[in-house]
Structure 1
Amino acid sequence: MATGAHLPQQTDPATTALLTVECQRGVVGPDSALPELAEAARRTGALGRVARLVAAAHDAGVQVLHAVAERRPDGRGASRNARLFSAAERLPVQQLAGTAAVRIAEPIPVCEDDLIVRRLHGLSPIAGTDVDPLLRNLGCRTLVIVGVSANVAIPNAVFDAVNLGYTAVVPADAIAGVPADYTAALVRHTLALVATVTTTDKLISRWTKPRRPGTTPG
């Protein structure tokens, strides 16, 4: 199993990007279409840790990308080849383009250098989106993946990243799914086989520059 033993080499800010997955108001916000998932993301602290990682990435110069799932009001181009898509169409909150539901959820900070990648179809934040060419143009070789859900989008992102030649890093305490114990099982029995599994604190420590002796925080 891959562990965080090689984090310093793998997570150099110059060649690393952080991808938040479906951390949007309509998914993990207070008016979520999936309240059980939103509650899990907040109760476990995963959403707060995503926010901490994004803030640390900003400070360290790590490129941040936000993967957002949305649909047009007329549904044109949306996938309909799985039960999940049919169920999503019946939810009281729709992830409609241009609405508050597809904005990045609080308390995650967003800065002008962040890239927001939107998709109208499929299950993966990477396959069929602009994520791969953007990462290659930026010179990124390592992708840190956080967000929701451990049930579908997170494993999709990890597998796609690995298949495309990236080193995938997963802070296990910054992802969430339902039921809560499923996330731990996914990490242990699946993601740890293909990704470097670490924690939020270890990754932030890697990205935090040590202060010179005699200096104080600004």
Structure 2
Amino acid sequence: MPPRDRLAAQLDPATTALLTVECQRGVVGADGALPELAHQVRSTGVLDRIAQLTVAAHRAGVQVVHAVAERRPDGKGAGRNARLFRAAERLPVRQLTGSPAVQVAQPIPVADEDLVVRRLHGLSPLAGTDVDALLRNLGVRTLVITGVSANVAVPNAVFDAVNLGYTAVVPADAIAGVPADYTSALIRHTLALVATITTTDEVRESWAG
């Protein structure tokens, strides 16, 4: 089967979901907790491309899932078993439940039919959350993974998706991490081994029919 036909089969709207990972104001917003990452996402157009994919998914009837990382103001249930978690406690912008920081960042649209899944612990938008059960109940077999960061949450999402039996599709121009060259190395040497690597335009074309 030609690569374009194979991609189209994987991206069947009836069995595909679009996952946006930590595309929240407190992470990728202009005043987010991680200025270098936020600048990378915005200056390279990654956030705009995720928004374009979300619009295309809505039009095609593809389920959209927004995975948001947050913590309770009292910190209950949050992990402290990694340097990343401990550092997050000291950041000037904290991802507190109910705060503007955990709202999906513009220009990504959130439709009534979208699922917003919030996690209070861990590194992955799939492990230990409701995402897998929700997707299985919807008959989803392919997960298009976008967002941040290529350093931690995105590869976690890809590996977990594959381990759970989903086909993972990664638009290479719709994920970001720091430094920029790390993202390209991750895609080439790691994600390409387990996921279908494509582009935003190719996904949008497939959903446009």
Name the SS for the 1:122 alignment partner: coil
Name 1:153's counterpart in structure 2: 153
Counterpart CA distance in 1 for 2:55 and 2:143 is 16
Residue 206 of structure 2: SS of its match in structure 1? helix
1:110 to partner: Cα distance: 0.6
Q: For residues 106-185 of structure 1, what are the structure 2 equivalents within 5 Å? A: 106-185=106-185
2:42 corresponding residue in structure 1: 42
Aligned-residue identity in percent:
76
1:81-115 alpha-carbon deviations (Å, 9 max, x no partner): 00000000000000000000000000000100000
- 1:86-97 mapped onto 2 (5 Å cutoff): 86-97=86-97
Q: Matched residue of 1:18: which SS?
A: strand
Q: Give 1:75 deviation, angstroms.
A: 0.2
The letter for the 2-side match of 1:29 is G
1:7-59 alpha-carbon deviations (Å, 9 max, x no partner): 11100000000000000000000110001000000111111100000000000
Q: Secondary structure in 2 aligned to 1:190?
A: helix
| Aligned residue number for residue 72 of structure 2 | 72
Local SS of the residue matching 2:108:
coil
Quote the Cα distance in structure 2 between the aligned partners of 1:198 and 1:4: 10
Instruction: Give the match's secondary structure for 1:26.
Output: helix
The 1:93–1:6 alpha-carbon spacing in structure 2 relative to 1, beyond 3 Å, is same
Contact 1:151/1:183 (8 A) holds in 2: yes
- Matching residue of 2:84: 84
Instruction: Give the root-mean-square deviation of aligned CA atoms.
Output: 0.9
Q: How many residues align?
A: 207
- The separation in 2 between residues aligned to 1:102 and 1:6, in whole angstroms, is 36
Structure 1 residues without counterparts, runs of 5 or longer: 210-218
- CA change 1:84–1:5 in 2 (3 A) is farther
Structure 1 pair 5–155 and aligned structure 2 pair: CA distance change class (3 A): farther
The CA deviation at 1:4 is: 6.2
TM-score (normalizing by structure 2) = 0.98
Name the SS of the counterpart of 1:147 in structure 2.
strand
- 1:108-129 Cα offsets, whole Å, 9 max, x none, are 0010000000000000000000
Deviation sequence 1:131-156 (CA, Å, 0-9, x none): 00000000000000000000000000
Task: State the AA in 2 paired with 1:115.
Answer: L
- Distance in 1, matches of 2:103 and 2:8, equals 32
What secondary structure does 1:71 align onto?
coil
The runs of 4+ residues in structure 1 deviating greater than 3 Å are none
| Structure 1 residue matching 2:197: 3-state secondary structure | strand
Give 3-state SS (helix, strand or coil) of 2:68's partner. Answer: strand
